[in-house]
Chains A and B, each alone.
Chain A
Amino acid sequence: MTGTVTSAPQAHPQDAAIEPVGVGFVAGTIPFSVVDGPGNRFTIFLQGCNFDCVACHNPQTIPSAEGAHFARTVDEVLAGVRRAAPFLSGVTVSGGEATQQPGFVLALFRAIKADPTLGRLTCFIDSNGACPPAVWSTLDPVLGGAMIDLKCLDPEIHRSMTGEPNDEVLASIRQLQAMGKLYEVRLLLLAGVNDDPELLRRTGEWLAAIDPHMRLKVIGFRDHGARPHDPPLVAPTSEQREAAADLLAATPGAAFDICLI
């Protein structure tokens, strides 16, 4: 499990420089969110995702719909942020997949940091981690932190859950930790799919090797919003969720900061 980086799935060639882009494709925004990073945050959901997760809670944001309907300028988004700014710790770009529009995220974060009234806000990304390293290195100067979903450590199960391999995800987690920008790793538990005890043990060890004090959010799948699936996806029971969290907590040498949802 070395996390070799392969070519980018789409949209952004790996080696091309990322330039700021003034227009993004935005599925929606909410002025107050308490679940998208530290403190109260303005959250921007971008439209379009490079994964097609079976358990996605907002599948309507998956198609890349680069139409006028979703187009928003940086200034338009900033107008919303300004109104909420006195109440915020920061801004989080989520999705869809935030890193699919790195130029827009770069332009937005730069504009926030350059604005004297908004500069104190931290800029976070909530991502599936499937992007080339250039995205993180380019955003680094304006990035406060990132929350990365790790759907599964096992590449085959990951592919069955998302339609894509996980090597970029693993590489992103390593890279962000090395940059000091890994805020949290999120583990979505799907009963009977990615909650095998041995798999969770290996996951804990892999994560502990990167940072034994990592902040982990363990999220039990809930079926509201998700598309119907055959066979049906199963939400873990609270006992199963707790057992998974206990397994991760018992990782040798680790002292994870675990939040179980």
Chain B
Amino acid sequence: MNELVSRATDLVRDGELSYDQKLRRLAILATEALPYPEISAACQEALEKRVICDMYEGHAPYTARYILPDYEKAVRQGLGWLEMEPPEDLDDALAFLLVMYANVPSVTTYPVYLGDLDKVLAPFVTDDLSDAELDRKLRRFWIQIDRIVPDAFAHLDLGPHDSRITRSILRVERSLCQAVPNITLKVHPQITPDDLIEDAVNTVFHNGKPHFVNHPMMVGDHGEQYASVSCYNSLKIGGGSHTLVRINLKEVALRHQGDIDSFLATTLPHYVELTAELTEARIRSLVEQQRFYDTHWLATEGLISLDRFSAMFGIFGLAECVNLLTQYEGREGRYGHDADANALAVRVVERVAELVAARPMPYCEGGGGRCYLHSQSGIDIDHEVTAGTRIPVGDEPGMLDHITTCAPHHHLFASGISDIFHVDETAMRNPRAMVDIIRGGFASGMRDFTFNLDSNEFIRITGYLVRKSDVMNVNEHRGTRHGSDYLAAGAENSYHLTQRAVKRVRANELSPK
């Protein structure tokens, strides 16, 4: 209790945090005073040693972690709880959405999904509205989103079809250069035109957005009604993810003695089961104890339904795991640089996928009664361990090798995987080259593709975007209005993300080899 009091005192007296930021942190502190969901001693120990991790969601989850309301349905039927009639024109619709965003919860307290806006707004964008007028209205809306939802996990989706709204959003993005909202473009090899992908690539050169996803692969796993939200989490619209529990494969490997086969047969399954146990306990707490889905207006009005939810089973530290296992067998080998190590990485991930697919999970009908596998891209406190299934920062090989190392994993991660590619600014003069690489990535089995310009003011941390200048404000104790900037400042110190190897996609004329 003393610790609680002292942490609360520090929070309320903090000189940098805004009122809202304090309020939200105090709420997290309060749930940490509640009893933890019941778990076994082995599970408890693995959690305390951070072999498995509950993402610090709090002891008594009272909202699903990621919620994807069906905004298309909402604008058709209106909102009872919020007393909003269905919108009749674009101004109505934009106001309607802002009201809704202010009332959609998530683990960050802000909505992580803002809708597939090209589709949600389509009924309201009529031929008599000029592009200039559309830009003006969306620009105002964009500023409102960033100020009302100051959190870079807030994410909207576009595509795979081209539309006037999509083009307008990309223009507004380039003119405003805000960190919020985050954006995904769904790419279908036949439906999405090169010209649209190129427009999106040029937008990335401005502000690091959008992220690109392989639409047919996503539809294969989730059906047409899916979206990419928060940090590359692909989930069902009208559903989402109850929770995210992740397993640190480096820590698992450190607890293993013996060869690779015994790791895959014994040690790994043991910790996968403890992760599943923790996941199940947290789901039951949310669904059965806090009864979120029985009580929240999104559920009672049919904008989400429990049967479209599952939970995310995250893995990270694959690189260190593979390198350790290789060492145990007395061999040299480094993930990302060595064919044997890369093949072992695929074996490890396939084994995790097999174990997760064999473990029934309650209230997870959205995933066929199983968790969705997720390559978890890290949180601000991770040290000396690589995010997800990525190659360690700064150690990435050339882009082709990087892609061919990562691509074999992508189909296994229904709820998302991220490998971030940095390119130098010569690519800006040839955006079509990035279109080629994105298309090639998807043709080679990638699910998610994101790239950054190394010289950009915007950097992707684990998937969300921040402005370097905002992170500087945190480091120099000036405060910032985006909650995600605080996480970014921590992550930058832990991961050195600004040191990602820049992809040399220009001709290396000095030493061709």
* B-contact bits for A230-261, CB 8 A (1 contact / 0 none): 00000000000000000000000000000101
- B281 at interface by CB-CB < 8 Å: no
Q: Determine if A40 and B505 form an interchain contact, defined as CB atoms under 8 angstroms apart.
A: yes
Q: Which residues of B contact A41 (CB under 8 A)?
A: 433
Q: Pick from B444, B505, B508, B509: contact of A86, CB below 8 A.
A: B444
Interface flag for B82 (CB, 8 Å): no
Q: Give 28 pairs: A residue, B residue, CB < 8 Å, sorted on A.
A: A28-B512, A31-B400, A32-B399, A32-B433, A33-B506, A34-B423, A34-B426, A34-B429, A34-B433, A34-B434, A34-B505, A34-B506, A35-B426, A35-B429, A39-B433, A39-B435, A40-B434, A40-B437, A40-B505, A45-B512, A86-B439, A86-B444, A87-B444, A88-B440, A89-B433, A89-B436, A259-B429, A261-B429
Residue from the set A32, A36, A89 with the largest chain B CB neighbour count within 10 Å: A32
On chain A, the number of residues with a Cβ less than 8 Å from chain B's Cβ atoms is 30
Name A56's closest neighbour in chain B (CB-CB). Answer: B509
B window 67-81: CB within 8 A of A: none
**Closest Cβ–Cβ distance, residue A84 to chain B (whole Å):** 6
In the complex, are the beta carbons of A32 and B398 less than 8 A apart?
yes
Q: Which of A25-62 contact B (CB under 8 A)?
A: 27-36, 38-41, 43, 45, 57-58, 61
From B400, B403, B430, B440, give the contact of A34 (CB < 8 A): B430
Q: Is A27 touching B433 in the complex (CB atoms < 8 A)?
A: no
A57–B510 touching, CB < 8 Å: yes
Q: Mark B423-462, 1 if CB is under 8 A from A, else 0.
A: 1001101101111110111011000000000000000000
The CA of A39 and the CA of B430, in the complex, are separated in Å by 6
Near A by CB (< 8 A), chain B positions 366-400 give: 398-400
Contacts A45-B512, A89-B432 aside, 4 further interface pairs with beta carbons under 8 A come to: A34-B430, A39-B435, A43-B507, A259-B429
Q: Which A residues fall within an 8 A CB radius of B?
A: 27-36, 38-41, 43, 45, 57-58, 61, 83-84, 86-89, 94, 224-225, 259, 261
Q: Are A58 and B433 in contact, CB atoms less than 8 angstroms apart?
A: no
Main secondary structure of the interface of A (DSSP, over half): mixed
Whether the Cβ atoms of B510 and A30 lie closer than 8 Å is no
Contacts of B441 in A (CB 8 A): 87
A88 touches B512 (CB 8 A): no
Total A-B contacts with CB atoms under 8 angstroms apart:
87
Question: With A83-B400, A87-B436 known to touch, is A36 a contact of B510 (CB < 8 Å)?
Answer: no
Interface flag for B13 (CB, 8 Å)? no
User: Within 8 Å CB of A35, what residues of B?
Assistant: 426, 429-430, 506-507
- In the bound complex, what is the Cα–Cα distance between A32 and B9 (angstroms)? 55
